[in-house]
Amino acid sequence: MDAVLDFLFGPLKEIWAYPTFFVEVVVGGLLTGVMYSLVALGFVLIFKASGVFNFAQGAMVLSAALSFVGFNELGAPLWLALVLALALMIGLAFVIERVVLRPLVNQAPIILFMATIGVTFFIDGFFQMLWGEDVKRLDVGIPKDPIEISGVLVNTFDIVAAVVAGTLVATLAFFFQSTRIGRALRAVADDHQAAQSVGIPLQTIWVIVWSVAGIVALVAGIMWGSKLGVQFSLALVALKALPVLILGGFTSIPGAIIGGLIIGVGEKVAEVFWAEKIGGGIEDWFAYILALFFLMFRPQGLFGERIIERV
């Protein structure tokens, strides 16, 4: 019993003894959480508008980043590479809508989910064939130096990432709340048939949503790519976004951000202070346990829409 108590509360003493370090861990967790949110946002957008859990989001992050770096290596300046990569992602959205979503309209969510898995394999193969499987360096000029703010170490890169994510969320929120297209998107999300009957073109909306998700993927790809290098493993960061998504709710944009922050801080604090005694490397499952804990109280995610069921 003592051992258990010591395991649970021992690290608290450590936190008390080194408050600056604790603050550093929390800040580090918050900033990592923001990076998770960037990826989670793409999932939320598509789920919100079409009820599809888009397994291909990770592959889209990879393909966007690959194209961006690829165009850049071909000699295009950064801005042009950005424009070209954006165009490619929008083109991809068109193709996916036409080839995959339209023939599968009105199918169960799980079928569409499976279809996005097919899309994942295809995109992975196609873009790696196009740009090669090499590790590519991505440098958009974001400084990566550590700086100390009143004794707390933070990294400039992480700060920039947080700013980018904040801007992105603000823009998306504005887009959804206050533009014509945004309102149409929300209408489609609420009820496909009703939206269609008031004259909202479903297919156009889907193309727009997938394009926006592609743009978000490009931003996430650039941020993660400058950290890890652009290579296949970028597609795997999607796994880190899953608990964020579940915790925040599949349908909420602010949820993706708040969820990211909670998961980021939770897993970092657990890993740094509690993991050592039980062997380390607990981040992955801890994120899910944390999400599970929150779900026990709110089964639809922190900000998800309430599911009301009638017999």
Partner 1 sequence: MIYREAGQYKTSYAADQAIFPILQDRIGLAILLLVAFVGAPLVASDYILSTILIPFLVFSVAALGLNILTGYCGQLSLGTGGFMACGAYAAYKFATAFPELNIVFVFLLSGGVTAMVGVVFGVPSLRIKGFYLAVATLAAQFFLIWLFTKVPWFVNYSPSGVISAPPRSVFGFYVTGIEATSHAKYIFCLSFVALLALVAKNLVRGRVGRAWMAIRDMDIAAEIIGIRPLHTKLLAFAVSSFYCGVAGALWAFIYTSSVEALAFDINRSFQILFMIIIGGLGSILGSFLGAAFIVLLPILLNAGPTAMGAPLSTSTIAHLELMTFGALIVFFLIVEPHGLARLWQIGKEKLRLWPFPH
Partner 2 sequence: MSLYRFGSALLGAAILAAPMALPAPALAQANEQFIPSLSYRTGPFGPNGTPFADGYLDYFKMINARDGGINGVKITYEECETAYNTDRGVECYERVKAKGPTGATAIVPLSTGITYALIERTAQDKIPMLTSGYGRSDGSDGRVFPWMFTLPATYYSQMDAIVQFIKSKEGGALKGKKISYIYHDSAFGKEPLPVIQRLSKELGFELSEFPVPNPGVEQKAIWLRIGRQIRPNYVIMWGWGVMNPTAITEAAAVGFPRDKFIGVWWAGSEQDVTPPGDAAKGYMAANFHGAGKDYKFMRDIENTVLKPGQGTGEARHVGTVLYNRGAINAAMVVEAVRTAQERYGNKPMTGEQVRWGFENLNLNPQRLASMGFEGFMPPLKTSCADHEGGGVVRIQQWDGKKWNWVSDWIEPNRKMLREMYEAGSAQYAKEKNITPRDCAKQS
The mark string for 87-116 relative to partner 1 (x by CB under 8 A, - otherwise) is ------------xx--xx--xx-xx-xxx-
Residue 310 beta carbon to partner 1: minimum distance, rounded to whole angstroms: 8
Instruction: Assess 237 for contact with partner 1 (CB under 8 A).
Output: no
Residue 176 beta carbon to partner 1: minimum distance, rounded to whole angstroms: 21
Question: What is the rounded CA–CA span in Å between residue 42 and residue 56?
Answer: 10
Residues in 111-150 that interact with partner 2 by CB under 8 A: 124-125, 128, 132-139, 144-146
| 188 backbone dihedrals φ, ψ, rounded to 5° | -60, -40
| 154 backbone dihedrals φ, ψ, rounded to 5° | -135, 165
Q: What letter would DSSP give residue 307?
A: P
| Candidate residues 183, 280, 298, 299; the one interacting with partner 2 per rule CB under 8 A | 280
Nearest partner of 39 among 150, 181, 153, 161, judged by Cα: 161
Instruction: Assess 237 for contact with partner 2 (CB under 8 A).
Output: yes
Instruction: Assess 290 for contact with partner 2 (CB under 8 A).
Output: no
CA distances from 209 to 122, 129, 206, 255, 288 (A): 20, 26, 5, 18, 28
- Nearest to partner 2 of 175, 232 (CB atom): 232
Residue 295 beta carbon to partner 1: minimum distance, rounded to whole angstroms: 5
User: With CB cut-offs between 5 and 8 Å by kind, which of partner 1, partner 2, none does residue 191 bind?
Assistant: none
User: With CB cut-offs between 5 and 8 Å by kind, which of partner 1, partner 2, none does residue 155 bind?
Assistant: partner 2
Strand partners, 230: 136
Question: What is the rounded CA–CA span in Å between residue 54 and residue 14?
Answer: 42
Residues in 137-196 that interact with partner 1 by CB under 8 A: none
Q: What is the DSSP string of 35-49?
A: HHHHHHHHHHHHHHH
| Candidate residues 157, 176, 250, 303; the one interacting with partner 2 per rule CB under 8 A | 157
Residue 85 beta carbon to partner 1: minimum distance, rounded to whole angstroms: 20
Q: What letter would DSSP give residue 111?
A: H
Helix (H) or strand (E) holding 290: helix 283-297
Strand partners, 146: 155
Residue bearing tokens 């003592």: 2
Question: What is the rounded CA–CA span in Å between residue 29 and residue 11?
Answer: 17
User: With CB cut-offs between 5 and 8 Å by kind, which of partner 1, partner 2, none does residue 227 bind?
Assistant: partner 2
Which residue ranges make up the site for partner 1 (CB under 8 A)? 53, 99-100, 103-104, 107-108, 110-111, 113-115, 117-126, 128-129, 133, 239, 242-243, 246, 250, 278-279, 281-282, 284-285, 288-289, 291-292, 295-296, 299-301, 304, 307, 309-311
